[in-house]
A and B are shown apart, each in its own frame.
Chain A
């Protein structure tokens, strides 16, 4: 069983919709991540939060808006997406020191119509 929980598992939305992806972890990790993964490609880093503060934004378009309400929760707000944004969105968490091994959730499969 994964210790990083992502909801929903599947999401279909139109280009004018507003939706959110949610991620929760209870491992006491203080770093949380959003990755985007297209089919047959490696995950691409989008955002990193460290101690609830945004520390890395990999030049992600503003139609993706991350939020870290507390140390256990990470959201990704979606608005005015394009069909090319359809992908698997993966959340991960890690300790902030040491090896920084990432623990991944099962992902949210997003389809934009």
Chain B
């Protein structure tokens, strides 16, 4: 079985500052990793995904994440945030054996003007 730990429940950051949202996972098999974003009163939108290959993954809205197998991490970064990035961010993992997607508890990113 897989599990996901998002180390920060809330991250406040000033506009145009860099941000990192941390995610660690646990799995006994190879995994696929995802970051989803949820804006208020909306569904979840895929930001980026790691399937295989290059460990640095670029996504939408200027976000990127790095897969680190030795540290079982998949941290999300953005070099300069905007007010519009204020949202809930979920890290998720899925085993390669078509097991259900497992979500972390989420990190609330609040961008301050």
Contact = CB atoms under 8 A, between A and B. Distances in A.
Interface of A: 2, 4, 6, 40-43, 45, 48, 56, 90, 92, 96-107, 109
Contact of A106 (B36, B42, B49, B51): B42
Nearest to B43: A104
Interface stretch (B55-63, B77-85, B101-109): B101-109
Nearest to B98: A100
A43 B100 contact: no
Given A90-B43, A97-B98, A42 B32 contact: no
Contact of B98 (A40, A42, A96, A104): A96
Given A99-B94, A100-B94, A101-B34, A43 B44 contact: yes
Contact of A109 (B41, B46, B94): B41
Contact of B100 (A45, A90, A98, A105): A45
A97 to B, nearest CB: 7
A89 B76 CA distance: 26
B105 A42 contact: yes
A2 B105 contact: no
Contact of A101 (B42, B46, B88, B100): B46
A66 B105 CA distance: 26
Q: Is the interface of B mostly helix, strand, loop or mixed?
A: strand
Contacts of B32: 99-101
Interface string B27-47: 000001010100001111110
A102 B101 contact: yes
A41 B43 contact: no
Nearest to A90: B43
7 contacts: A41-B105, A42-B90, A42-B104, A43-B90, A99-B49, A102-B101, A107-B43
B101 A42 contact: no
Given A99-B49, A99-B51, A100-B94, A48 B100 contact: yes
A76 to B, nearest CB: 15
Contacts of A2: 43
